[in-house]
Amino acid sequence: MQKGIQGLIKQIKEVHEHFASLAVKQVNTAMNLRNVLFGYYIVEYQQHGFDRAQYGEKVLEVLAHSARNLGLKSISETNLKLFRQFYQTYPQISQTVSDQFKLENIQAKQQTPLPEATALACEENVGYRI
10 Å Cβ neighbour count for 96?
19
The answer for residues whose C-beta is within 8 angstroms of residue 84's C-beta and 6 or more apart is 38, 39, 42, 43, 60
- Each residue of 48-93: pLDDT tens digit? 877 776 777 789 999 999 999 999 988 999 999 999 999 999 888 7
pTM score of the predicted model: 0.63
Count of domains observed in the chain: 1
Q: What mean pLDDT, rounded, does the chain reach?
A: 79
CA distance 110 to 102: 13
Q: Which domain holds residue 79?
A: 4-126
Is residue 41 within 8 Å of 48, Cβ to Cβ?
no
